[in-house]
Amino acid sequence: MRGRPLLRTAYGQDLALLDTASKRGAVGALVLVGLALPWLLTDEILQLLATCCVAAIGAIGLNLVTGYAGQVSLGHAFFLAIGAYTAAAISGDPGGRVVGFGVANLLVWLPAAGLVAGLAGVAVAPLATRLRGLYLAIVTLGLVFIGGYVFETWSGLTGGPGVGRPAATPALFGYRLDVDDAFATRDQKLYLLMLVLVVLFAVAAANVARSKVGRAFTAIRDRDIAAGVIGVNVARYKTIAFAVSSCYAGCAGALLYTLSGFFDPGSFNLLLSVQYIAMVLIGGAGTISGSILGAFFITLLPRITREAPALLPFISASPTDTPNSYQLETVLYGVLIIVFLIFEPRGLFGIWTRIRNYWQTYPFSY
């Protein structure tokens, strides 16, 4: 309404994805900038940004089950591995040393990876109906170690530890996206693919969050006993939460190593699960935008730690024994999680909300 742009007279207006002109303009500007970046940045930076987009898909999936439904999961790396190996097996060389069916079409192996990982999530979901909190976290943590053993011993599928196998081949109707051609480089094409996919997955997740299913997730997170009393089928919606989260993780795992072209069982360890937990907590639990912010922040963090060991010798036991980048990343994940949980539980999204509210109310302090 003229003069009162935030006055809403219907539930549809309140549930709109982009309910203000400023949000629509900001999102449109971000999309335009994202589409222009392939011709402004180097291939190395584009590959890093493509990795950020894929990580955002996995972080959104984890946020649905942890941030929205309140089910703490430390087994995200397990579902990423299922998606990665499913996609690699479907698109792999039938005559190679590992399992492969030769179907390189992205529209086949990507949904298949999400479906298989989603079914794995449904299989794990009965545990979520009986456990919660720390007990559920320990059980999902066990999935990482079980999956690590299975993937290391199943060399016919994975290639074995230290050997690995080629990742899924990204192709659309016979057009290869992982090779240079006259139109664009490999990194330009893969970046654009990941950008489009993260937008699609984010919009789908936002629609789930604002639907009846999303409201049931929130009720279970806030108090599952009360949710059951008011008629929410707790077991059903916990199963849906794990299925959707695992599906997102499977798709992210299928896409993640198409950028490097190769992976092995050691790629899906506990640190990978910790990284995704850090993305959710640092970005902002219970928000889709926070998942994306956290994924970009954590994925870009190694670029900083790559130079940090020479600047932080005081962390080491002696002046000549400086920590490597892997050690610094591990320490920083823990430190950042603690800092954000204590000082800003809403994460980067909360910081952005504070900044936005400040400028909206300026020069007033309320």
Query: How would residue 1 be classed by pLDDT, with cut points 50, 70 and 90?
Result: very low
Query: How would residue 354 be classed by pLDDT, with cut points 50, 70 and 90?
Result: confident
Look up residue 215 and give its two tokens.
């409201």
The pLDDT of 285-304, averaged and rounded, is 88
pLDDT at 310: 52
Whether the per-residue pLDDT at 14 is higher than 60: the answer is yes
pLDDT at 316: 47
Q: Contact, 267 vs 48, CB < 8 A?
A: no
Q: How far apart are CA 125 and CA 147, in angstroms?
A: 17
Q: 266-284 b/e with 16+ CB inside 10 Å = b?
A: ebbeeebbbbbbbbbbbbb
Q: How far apart are CA 28 and CA 24, in angstroms?
A: 6
Look up residue 228 and give its two tokens.
């059951």
Per residue in 244-293, pLDDT (tens digit) is 999 999 999 999 988 888 888 888 888 889 889 989 999 988 899 999 99
Whether the per-residue pLDDT at 118 is higher than 90: the answer is yes
Of all residues in the chain, the percent with pLDDT exceeding 70 is 89
pTM (predicted TM-score): 0.88
Whether the per-residue pLDDT at 326 is higher than 70: the answer is no
Q: How far apart are CA 229 and CA 329, in angstroms?
A: 44
pLDDT at 112: 94
Q: Find the range with the poorest average confidence among 89-93, 178-182, 312-316.
A: 312-316
Listed in sequence order, the DSSP H helices in the chain are 11-14, 21-36, 43-63, 76-91, 106-130, 134-153, 155-158, 186-209, 212-229, 234-256, 270-283, 288-305, 325-343, 347-361
DSSP 3-state assignment of 104? coil
pLDDT at 73: 87
pLDDT at 191: 92
Going by C-alpha positions, the residue among 234, 248, 228 that lies closest to residue 120 is: 248
Per residue in 192-220, pLDDT (tens digit) is 999 999 999 999 999 998 889 999 999 99
Cα distances from 131 to residues 59, 121, 127, 169, 240, in angstroms, run 23, 15, 6, 39, 16
Q: Contact, 157 vs 101, CB < 8 A?
A: no
DSSP string of 288-329, one letter each residue:
HHHHHHHHHHHHHHHHHHTTGGGT-GGGSSSTT----HHHHH
Q: How far apart are CA 320 and CA 182, in angstroms?
A: 50
